[in-house]
Amino acid sequence: MVRKNSGSSPSKGGSKSHKAMKYMIRADLKVNGNVQRKDIIGAIMGQTEGLLGDDLELRKLQRTARIGHVDVEMESKGGKITGMIFIPSSMDNVETAIIASSLETIDRVGPCAAKITVVEIQDVRSTKVNAVIDRAKDLLLTMVNSGDAATKTVIEEVRSVLTVGTAKNFHGLTCGPNVESSDSLIIVEGRNDVRNLLNFGVKNAISCDGAGNIKQELIDLVKTKGTVILAIDGDRGGEMLFRQLDEMMNIDFVAQAPVGQEWELLPQKTATKCLSQKIEASKFAANLPTDAEKVDKDAWLEDVEDFESEEAPAEIHEYFDHIEDLKKSNAIFVMADGTLSEPVSAAKIASAAEEAEGVVAMVFNGPVSDRILEIASQSEIETVIGTKEGKGFSKVDGVTAWLTDKHA
């Protein structure tokens, strides 16, 4: 999408006032029809006029530079418009929140039904502060490398970059700079775990990139170390990773994160405590749940796949919206021209699908079972929308299922 400014060009005075903007309102836009940018701006101005009183009227606020120019990013697809609305504000947070919430009262753009949802109110000043900190860290590293740094005058947030070290690569595995020289080694699951430990000054950690194909180079590296610690997450997946690695290499100790927590998100105090309270690998294995040995090694990979659900495109999210309007176990059919059929009950879905022509998607308010997928396949409906996996759910050639509990 190409972002374009709406409205007339700001004057020099408006440009100066824009620099003082404190907040940016970002709102998601969906229009069930093909409209122009000026229609969207007109709807925003017109349908909020008089809603909040004279003091919070958008046109008046723009004239006094308390609200900046409204920007719109939009994309047309299949006769419908999706996009984002951007409104800068120099007012306080309460007034800005009121203006943002008023946008969600807009339900039409021209003759077309529309829906506006505020995504966030971004603090522009906070973003600038973060940018200053990040840039200061880069500049400080440059100064240190040239020998010109005066670190005594640098605040702690920036000075920390000197001590955390830089992540390196060991045969494709992310690691700290001391994994080869140190006599001890800490094995973690992923690259973000390594980076989090680097933030605390731990420089001898290496990732195994999860279960699956463990690299021979990692196994060989372990053989050269006096002490090997496996740092696992506080969940079933972490315990399964231990079982796999314990069979492939010599692990001396296990440091497990608190229940339900991950190493990549642990604060320094918790991470240090977990490492100090590590237990011998043999004792950890003895304390594992008895049913753990019955679990197939590939179950770890299945767990990972469950968390890596594919992100649904904007068109599918529009279909998700239709589920809210349906009774439980009812369905509608979306035609190629974007029109919708009348709702049908579960008992009539098969016959309705067979009779319908030009159907591109079936939206069903309920679990998607093998029967629903069979009906879609027989009627050559390529897309099925539902709430979750139902009885006998499995992949069917030619049919893609999108589920609100995984993709919404």
Q: How far apart are CA 295 and CA 17, in angstroms?
A: 63
Confidence label for 390 from pLDDT (cuts 50, 70 and 90): confident
Q: Above 80 in pLDDT, residue 348?
A: yes
Residues 256-281 pLDDT 10s:
999 888 898 889 888 888 998 999 99
Kindly report, residue by residue over 138-153, the tens digit of the pLDDT: 787 776 555 444 444 4
pLDDT at 283 over 80: yes
Helix (H, G, I), strand (E, B) or coil at 81: strand
How far, in Å, CA of 185 to CA of 90, rounded?
Answer: 52
Looking at the chain, the whole-number percentage of residues with pLDDT higher than 90 is 24
- Residue 200's SS3 state is coil
**pLDDT at 167 exceeding the cut of 50:** yes
Handedness of CA 126, 132, 137, 138 (dihedral sign): positive
Top mean-pLDDT range of 45-49, 308-312, 343-347: 343-347
In the prediction, which pLDDT does 190 show? 85
pTM higher than 0.95: no
pLDDT bracket for residue 165 (50, 70, 90) = low
Q: Assess whether pLDDT exceeds 90 at residue 317.
A: no
Query: Which CA distances in Å does 232 have to 148, 179, 269, 288, 393?
Result: 41, 18, 17, 13, 32
| Rounded alpha-carbon distances, angstroms, from residue 141 to 150, 157, 161, 176, 407 | 11, 13, 8, 18, 41
Q: Edge to edge, what strands does the sheet with 112-123 contain?
A: 4-5, 71-77, 80-89, 23-31, 112-123, 108-109
The DSSP string of 108-151 is EETTEEEEEEEEEEEEHHHHHHHHHHHHHHHHHHHHHHHT---G
pLDDT of the residue at 148 = 46
Written as six digits, the tokens of 400 are 């893609």
* Cα 67 from Cα 52, distance rounded (Å): 15
pLDDT at 229: 94
Residue range 72-100: average pLDDT?
Answer: 90
Distance CA 74, CA 83 (A): 4
pLDDT bucket at 86, cuts 50 / 70 / 90 = very high
Q: Residue 285 pLDDT more than 80? A: yes
Contacts of 74 (CB under 8 A, 6+ apart): 1, 29, 37, 40, 81, 82, 83
Chain mean pLDDT for the chain:
81
Question: Looking at residue 324, what is its pLDDT?
Answer: 84
Lowest average pLDDT, out of 22-26, 36-40, 281-285, 334-338, goes to 334-338
Residue 307 confidence class, pLDDT cut points 50, 70, 90: very low
**Backbone region of residue 326 per phi and psi (left: phi > 0; alpha: psi in -120 to 50; beta: other values):** beta
The token pair at 111 is 């003759």
pLDDT, position 300? 45
Alpha helices in 147-215 (DSSP H): 156-159, 191-199
pLDDT range class, residue 9, cuts 50, 70, 90: very low
What residues pair up with 89 in beta bridges, in sequence order? 23, 67
Q: What is the pLDDT of residue 20?
A: 67
pLDDT at 211: 59
pLDDT at 210: 65
Better pLDDT: 165 or 46: 46
What pLDDT band is residue 5 in, cutting at 50, 70 and 90?
Answer: very low
Mean pLDDT of 349-358: 88
